[in-house]
Structure 1
């Protein structure tokens, strides 16, 4: 009898775990691309070309996208837009011969002789809203603090500066960051497109959410979702270049609509009597 109860209890626990795992999925394509994982690969890379290759390597467990629903993972190419000391690395998928869809953009800015910071922003068509992720200072290099108003930047890998107690990681020690700010760097634009792919690339079949979820979860430890954009100039560099796909919007319109329906906006009285718009999400989804 005890054995039967144990088996029944174990079965119920497994059923509950499976149900939780499924409910944790947003149903959006962003479930199948880890923003945290992309930053981890960027940190590991010595060049932008190597970063692109890692993104499209199955064992990296960052990319599980199949935006055109052909039963194979999509190739994610990287395009660097550089202007005024700011890099915008666009992560983009060719969805059809004449359609591309941006997945995310890594925004990088050098703010001192030996200091730089970055964020990755997930595209709203892929994640339902813009999702901003950055290193949390635990593992991703030397952390620094942003300066308060009127404070000066102390340059160097060990600089700590304060602004609203917000930790911002100095990524200058990352090999790829030094590489793209070296005088010999040639701005990277991926040569691959819909009909031309690298010979080394071997697409694989996307896995289910139950299998994929724990694989991408390993990257969440050292990268955190935030609300504040830090590389302000990158938005002006990237926004005119943003690519969206009608195929993707049509396929995921219902899922995006349901996701956005969980968000409500209210206007409250802020400081100095000014009205402030506050957006709340009923179901918090951590990426």
Structure 2
């Protein structure tokens, strides 16, 4: 009898303990399931692959010519500038992408975890912010060859990148553009997704260290109060209908502005320091197999004729 009572007591204790923990579990969902459709993470991973360093990556994310992003979180009728911040610990680097949505206001959009294991193999995961994409939205790119930027993280010229730009202060190349309808954006951005990269989807974030690092840079100003920006969005929609189909704000762009790596010349800093990877891209111009000037086979001037021999008397 005592044994039965003890068993029942322990069963109730375990059940109650389990219910207590079950109440602590909170499922975070995306604020709007359509938000994540305005920044294609496969396109982000492709742009990351093409970049020489993180400054170059930020430039490519905000290039008004390619328009990789279609995010307008603050609802002002212009696509938000995306700043890039990077933090690291040992062999783990976390690249945080944040939308600049107001004065001293930022929102995490996605992170890129770059981690090297004990065997020297590097894993890359592009993780969508849970409030933007919902839980477990992770893209894992598989590269045929390691991109230059991956080697750059462990190369001799590596420097941490912390974007110097903020609300009202942007690089000269940047001009805000109007967001497109989602179906138009999907068609346009698909051009920038690399076909030679395999994109695996997973819901498991591999690096625990990356989660720890990310907390240092995390900003959630939009997700804390989305209704605040909803009002701005409604006003922007009204203003946009009056403005017509203008594609950009008209801000002048400095097309000649270059990143530090571009200023160094056509060859990136990484290659200059003998850290590079094979490229499968076709060169823009064929290397010359012939010298510019043909070597002269004849002297420029003919030698003077020999003097005639005098007649003998």
> Equivalent of 2:204, from 221, 224, 228?
228
Alpha-carbon spacing, 1:33–1:246, altered in 2? closer, same or farther (3 Å): closer
Instruction: Tell me, yes or no, if the aligned pair for 1:41 and 1:55 is still in contact at 8 Å.
Output: yes
**Shift of the alpha carbon at 1:188?**
0.5
Residue 185 of structure 1: aligned partner: 158
CA distance in 2, matches of 1:121, 1:252: 26
Alpha-carbon spacing, 1:210–1:228, altered in 2? closer, same or farther (3 Å): same
Instruction: Tell me, yes or no, if the aligned pair for 1:104 and 1:120 is still in contact at 8 Å.
Output: yes
Instruction: Tell me, yes or no, if the aligned pair for 1:68 and 1:247 is still in contact at 8 Å.
Output: no
Report Cα offsets for 1:151-192 as digits up to 9, x if no partner: xxxxxxxxxxxxxxxxxxxxxx21011112113311000110
Uncovered stretches (5+) of structure 1, i.e. residues with no partner: 1-25, 143-172, 255-287
Report Cα offsets for 1:220-247 as digits up to 9, x if no partner: 8632321222222111111243110147
**Shift of the alpha carbon at 1:248?**
7.0
Q: Does 1:121 align with 2:127?
A: yes
Uncovered stretches (5+) of structure 2, i.e. residues with no partner: 1-31, 231-313
Residue 172 of structure 2: aligned partner: 199
Residue 87 of structure 2: aligned partner: 81
Secondary structure of residue in 2 paired with 1:181: coil
CA distance in 1, matches of 2:94, 2:104: 22
CA distance in 2, matches of 1:49, 1:241: 17
Residue 141 of structure 1: aligned partner: 144
Alpha-carbon spacing, 1:28–1:78, altered in 2? closer, same or farther (3 Å): same
Residue 93 of structure 1: aligned partner: 99
Residue 184 of structure 2: aligned partner: 211
Report Cα offsets for 1:82-140 as digits up to 9, x if no partner: 112210000011111021101000001112564211101100111133411111x4xx2
Alpha-carbon spacing, 1:32–1:248, altered in 2? closer, same or farther (3 Å): farther
Instruction: Tell me, yes or no, if the aligned pair for 2:84 and 2:96 is still in contact at 8 Å.
Output: yes
Q: Scaled by the length of structure 1, what TM-score is found?
A: 0.63
Report which of the two has the higher share of strand. Answer: 1
Alpha-carbon spacing, 1:252–1:38, altered in 2? closer, same or farther (3 Å): farther
The CA RMSD over aligned residues, in Å, is 2.4
Secondary structure of residue in 1 paired with 2:139: strand
Secondary structure of residue in 2 paired with 1:31: helix
Alpha-carbon spacing, 1:60–1:114, altered in 2? closer, same or farther (3 Å): farther
Larger Rg: 2
> Equivalent of 2:52, from 26, 41, 46?
46
Q: Which is worse superposed, 83-92 or 110-119?
A: 110-119
CA distance in 2, matches of 1:77, 1:253: 19
CA distance in 1, matches of 2:82, 2:156: 27
CA distance in 2, matches of 1:76, 1:229: 23
CA distance in 2, matches of 1:248, 1:70: 18
CA distance in 1, matches of 2:155, 2:75: 40
